[in-house]
Amino acid sequence: MVLNKKDHSWRSLQQDAQLTKVRCKGLLSKFFVLIAVSSLCVIAFRWCAYCHKPLLCPQPLRRITFISDGVLSENWLKRCVSIPLGKNLMRIDLGCIKTQLEACSQVASAIITRQFPDTLVIEIKEFKPVAKLFVSTQGKRCVRLISAEGRLFTPIAYTKHGIKTLPTLSDVTIQLIQEGKILKFDRIYALLVALMRQYPDVYATIVQISLKNFDPLLEEKWLQVDLRTSHNQHLIFNCTHIDVQMRKLKGVLYALTPQQRSQLLRVDLSLTNPIVEFK
């Protein structure tokens, strides 16, 4: 059987044309479906934007959320800085508020953020007092608190009882204070922490910390502190090799009888061989 080449070519052209039509219809269907889906997405997005417009756009300030890790309260915040309610949230100068808050010596840092649509969040961290210092200002005796970092600050919102329970720093010269901080106070704080952890009963009796022989500008051996207890006993430490001196204190206390402890006057742990004096 002989094939008709002419008829075979014609039938092939017809089939190709039909296939092309089918493909075009398929592409048109997909195109229209894509347009329909895109249109629905655009409509849905505009509807959501319309419904949530108050949440997306900044509104007048209605709420102030104040967070502090210390004793300062919202009443203090109102006295310290004026933030008018009703002002556009985006027009509030966060940097200015931060500067005003951190001007307070008790505030270590302040973070101010906008919480849309209408809330301002103010979070501050305070210096925590570990001791107090009495100073003379314009002929008046005033108290300053001292943080673990050695920062001096004026107490706000602290009770008289709370301040009274803090040990008093004495024999503090002007040379020891630079830029509102006591030099190398972190050494003293490390000593207090070690004493509090290992001998909490002894730490609880500390009422005064004398810095008479504490000179951070000289050698390490001059970082001496005299801790006076409520029983008028003196514990003398050097703020170096604290662990070694804690072991010496353990040995001294272990060797003394209860009666001898009550008669104890002075223990110098800064020396290689501790010196113990009695009343």
Residue 91 burial (C-beta neighbours within 10 Å; 0-12, 13-18, 19+): exposed
Output the pLDDT for position 171: 96
Q: Which domains does the chain have, with CATH numbers?
A: 63-126 (3.10.20.310), 129-278 (3.40.50)
Give the pLDDT score at 4.
Answer: 47
Assigned token pair, 186: 């972190």
- E strand or H helix at 265: strand 264-268
- Summarised one tens digit per residue, pLDDT across range 236-253 is 999 999 999 999 999 999
Quote the CA–CA distance of 200 and 237 in Å, as a whole number.
16
Strand pairing class (119-126; 206-210): unpaired
- Spell 94-110 as b/e; 16+ CB within 10 A means b: eeebbebbeebbbbbeb
- Backbone torsions φ then ψ of 264, nearest 5 degrees: -70, 135
Q: Is the pTM of this model over 0.75?
A: yes
Task: Tell me what pLDDT residue 218 has.
Answer: 82
pLDDT for the residue numbered 219: 75
pLDDT over threshold 90, residue 138? no
CA torsion angle for 112, 113, 115, 118 (degrees, to 10)?
60
Strand pairing report for 119-126 and 63-68 = parallel
Q: Which residues of 118-150 are buried (b: 16+ CB within 10 A; e: fewer)?
A: bebebebebbebbbbbeeeeeeeeebbbbbbeb
Q: Which residue has the tokens 């910390």?
A: 209
The 3-state DSSP class for residue 36 equals: helix
Take residue 16 and report the two structure tokens written for it.
Answer: 């190709």
Query: For 187-224, how does the pLDDT look when each residue is reduced to its tens digit (9 = 90+)?
Result: 999 999 999 999 999 999 999 999 999 998 887 778 99
pLDDT tens digit sequence for 8-25: 454 554 555 555 555 566
Residue, of 133 and 7, whose pLDDT is higher? 133
